[in-house]
Structure 1
């Protein structure tokens, strides 16, 4: 029995694999994965999920002490947390399952995963072995796709595709829905939505009267997703794809250029994390550096950005203002909002100190802003 190893995070194949089923106890399984051995599950599907939960608890109990000299600073706490999460993900990724050539999962009481896997992996090229944790993520993404995310600003649902960041943080969408539109973008004017993702911002702009919205994204899946959502919303005549570059090719100008770059300047570890982490602020600086030359007369650039990076000491407000000035831009207005997501609003746990999020204070104080920019 052979199968090809596959990992969406480019994790290397395990050096050693043993068969495992419901007779394997969690402590023994934890010892094996801690030694680098992968467990190819042959038992009950729900038993595998329970084992994964038990392994996660053991990994949490064995969390390594911070490597930073001063783990109390927000930036070092952030880096330590990411290192620990990467270690835990590596351990849990060693509980693996086999998918058949048609993407079927032949475990007792397993759900039909074929359609979700086809969406994520595309046409099958034979049996493959994947981490159970990855497969559960694919199933969760498929449920998001089928159910959709309700967007109050649209009065409709947006359906994220696999590998495309879902617009679950609605406060940034609300900012785009209420910011005053430049006249240059209305009627026969146009807008660019850079890094469109699901196309939610493009749809909001089109609904507000922007003549045409050209969307770009480095992820081809996102362009397909944005066009699918435009079709669902009846906006295919106003939302059009413009390639995988940051700006549309050909030097075209627009009355409005919108960019909601990943908010944290750090390296992503998966395709989905590319919606959260922007290495070195590459997309942010690319947007700012090209903006002045891409605006039509009277046009504006809208930068939607959280200040979480500033609160984690990963970037300063002065850095941001300096980047504006270096790009020949001035601030003509700013709208602020507070996040409504669970991590920002939930109460701190009272008992288990291991569950305390070292970044809780930064998230609780976070502000998301829409910066209205124009050439100097």
Structure 2
């Protein structure tokens, strides 16, 4: 257990340190309050000093925003070319921003309560993210705001038109906000082996996350869907959503693993689409440094398909437009796994970032296509 230390007046204080992104505890911590100026906070945070907030909660949020504006003004802008150098510069700038803003801290009491004036009740949100409290704990304000936002998403859910219902993401589980990949699975033709008798079919949903694709497959009539994930939070989330959607009798959530010990008529996988190192567990739904999940899916697919079955790979080509992977590399990996492409169904992104011209990676996002690759073993 990591501990941070600071001084209030002449009294030495300490508390447990927690960071979802695995950030190390700061070596130097000073107390900050409503009198702290944004320029001073920014300067100290850039120098590596953390600021433990003891003032009004709303003022803390304003200070965080003011520090963010100062960071953004000082950051170099990536060039307009949607290549890997622009992406790496964008990632480094984002990492620097996260580290500096992550040095504005708050203290959670032994029941996760915040003592700051005008602070919201964050106890249930923290229990949902961190589990039962284990004594006072210090976290970054930026992380806590993410915990609060995730709790609201969990309560309200995300509308999924393909289901005609809401899916409720847990903290640390990738939310189905990009509906194009869900629609691909909802409308792609089922493999011939189960097309005329879906109630007899079995499917696997690898890396299920919230369980949204497993639910779509069950709603399409498949009798049994096995959903897997390596993230314990995702397993709990998928089980809860299966119950909410009254599909728990047809969806079996298991893990942590990639493939279950069985064969299926259809195996669906929507792996992280960017081959780059995630900054923490929250980003693992998007970033996978060496494409381990993609490679694992391709390598294991043939051994887990029944005769006549198919594998569906749902993958964005954003990495190709960023110069991080070529289409040739993907096709070579498919060929090396002794698989054949029988069809590819494409769709364009509809999420707001694809239309944000201020985004440094706008050119790549505008050109992005998400595809469902229908794969079968080479006989």
TM-score (normalised: structure 1): 0.94
Q: Which residue of 2 aligns with 1:229?
A: 241
Q: Which residue of 2 aligns with 1:36?
A: 48
- The counterpart of 2:94, out of the listed 74, 85, 91, is 85
- The counterpart of 2:225, out of the listed 202, 205, 213, is 213
Superposed CA offset, 1:262-294 (max 9, x none)? 000011111110000012111001000110111
> Where do 1:159-308 residues align within 5 Å?
159-185=168-194, 186-249=198-261, 252-308=262-318
Q: The residue matched to 2:154 in structure 1 has which SS?
A: helix
> Where do 1:15-94 residues align within 5 Å?
15-64=27-76, 72=81, 74-94=83-103
Gaps of 5+ in 2: 1-12
Measure the CA separation in 2 of the matches of 1:328 and 1:123. 47
- Residues 275, 324 of structure 2: 8 Å contact kept: yes
Q: The residue matched to 2:199 in structure 1 has which SS?
A: coil
Q: Which residue of 1 aligns with 2:147?
A: 138
- Residues 215, 242 of structure 2: 8 Å contact kept: yes
Runs of 4+ in 1 over 6 A off after TM superposition: none
Gaps of 5+ in 1: 349-355
Measure the CA separation in 2 of the matches of 1:28 and 1:211. 61
Q: Which moved more, 1:311-320 or 1:151-160?
A: 311-320
Post-superposition offset of 1:184: 3.5
Q: Which residue of 2 aligns with 1:337?
A: 347
Corresponding pairs, count:
363
Post-superposition offset of 1:371: 0.4
Measure the CA separation in 2 of the matches of 1:122 and 1:236. 24
Q: The residue matched to 1:192 in structure 2 has which SS?
A: strand
Q: The residue matched to 2:344 in structure 1 has which SS?
A: strand
Measure the CA separation in 2 of the matches of 1:151 and 1:344. 19
- Residues 34, 91 of structure 1: 8 Å contact kept: yes
- Residues 82, 364 of structure 2: 8 Å contact kept: no
Measure the CA separation in 2 of the matches of 1:231 and 1:306. 30
Post-superposition offset of 1:21: 0.6
TM-score (normalised: structure 2): 0.94
Measure the CA separation in 1 of the matches of 2:60 and 2:147. 16
Aligned alpha-carbon RMSD (Å): 1.3
Superposed CA offset, 1:114-146 (max 9, x none)? 000000010111100100000000001001101
- Residues 184, 256 of structure 1: 8 Å contact kept: no
Indicate yes or no: 2:113 matched with 1:104. yes
Post-superposition offset of 1:72: 4.2
Measure the CA separation in 2 of the matches of 1:141 and 1:73. 31
